[in-house]
Amino acid sequence: LKHQQLQPDIICYSVLNAAHAAKGDIEAVKGFLKQCLEAQLEPDQASYGSLVKAYAHTNYIADAEGVLTNMRDCQVAPNLKIYTTLMNACARIGHIDAAERTLSSLVQQRLQPDS
């Protein structure tokens, strides 16, 4: 892309981040937001969602929770899918306290859990 003087957008970075997560390359995942900021791209709900999914996939629950905090700090509201992605990961690895914190946060945001 750079050779053709094209600037990757937030979708490109999100897809690449998901690929790193699938490979278990957590260091690349951790650099995702930094790369976005360096490229002067504003992460959106979908890109934050891919980051939560990446951390959840690799069982980095505290980092996934930190993404939700970062989202709120940046005035980007987590949606139901992001919350349930995190809750599913917490339940899968037995982090019941983290799942309960996530559910509490979901309720505080006035989102309704679905079935």
76-85 pLDDT tens trace? 999 999 999 9
Would you say residue 86 has pLDDT above 90? yes
- Residue where the block lists tokens 């509201």: 77
The residue-averaged pLDDT of 63-75 equals 91
Reading phi first (left if > 0) and then psi (alpha if -120 to 50, else beta), residue 114 is in beta
Tell me, yes or no, if the pTM score tops 0.95: no
pLDDT for residue 84:
92
- For residue 6, is pLDDT > 70? yes
Q: In Å, what is the CA distance from 102 to each residue of 56, 73, 99, 115?
A: 13, 17, 5, 16
Give the burial string for 74-88 (b: 16+ CB within 10 Å, else e): eebebbeebbbbbbe
Average pLDDT, the chain: 86
Can you give the pLDDT at residue 109?
A: 85
